[in-house]
Amino acid sequence: MIRTVVFVLVSLLLTGCTGTKSFEGTLYSIGENYFVVDCSHEVKKRKNNVEDISYPCTVRITDQTKLSDEDGNKLSVDDFTEEVTVKVILATPQTINQSKESRNIEAREIILLNR
């Protein structure tokens, strides 16, 4: 009985940690307190035969969200422009899929990539 309980608890912990922690994508647009970023690669890696369409993620920016460049220099929202590539580190790991709800996420950090 104790083995079963331990197995179930370990399984739940491992399952909870399998979500996406970060992704890279093109910055489509900039809004007040959010970016819209292409997260198509994340959506498509979880599904076979997904249509060749673009999936945008709405990335919420809070007071705790760190904005920086690849060298760690602090940036502001004004330093980001449309069509740049960014790396989004999520506040909490989660599964990103075709559902619009799963693509509404909060960023712990957004890094402007030098590409």
Q: Which CATH class is domain 19-112?
A: mainly beta
- Beta strands at 85-94 and 20-31: parallel, antiparallel or unpaired: antiparallel
Q: What ranges do the domains of the chain cover?
A: 19-112
Of 108, 102, 107, 112, which is closest to residue 34 (Cα–Cα)?
A: 107
Q: Are 37 and 59 in contact (CB under 8 A)?
A: yes
Residue 86 to residue 37: CA distance in whole angstroms? 8
pLDDT at residue 48 in the model:
64
The pLDDT mean for the chain works out to: 85
The model's pLDDT over 45-75, given as tens digits with 9 standing for 90+, comes to: 866 655 678 899 999 999 999 999 999 999 9
Q: Tokens at residue 83, please?
A: 């069509």
pLDDT at residue 9 in the model:
40
110 CB contacts (<8 Å, ≥6 apart)? 35, 59, 61, 65, 66, 67, 68, 80, 86, 87, 88, 89
pLDDT at residue 12 in the model:
41
* Confidence band of 2 (pLDDT split at 50, 70, 90): low
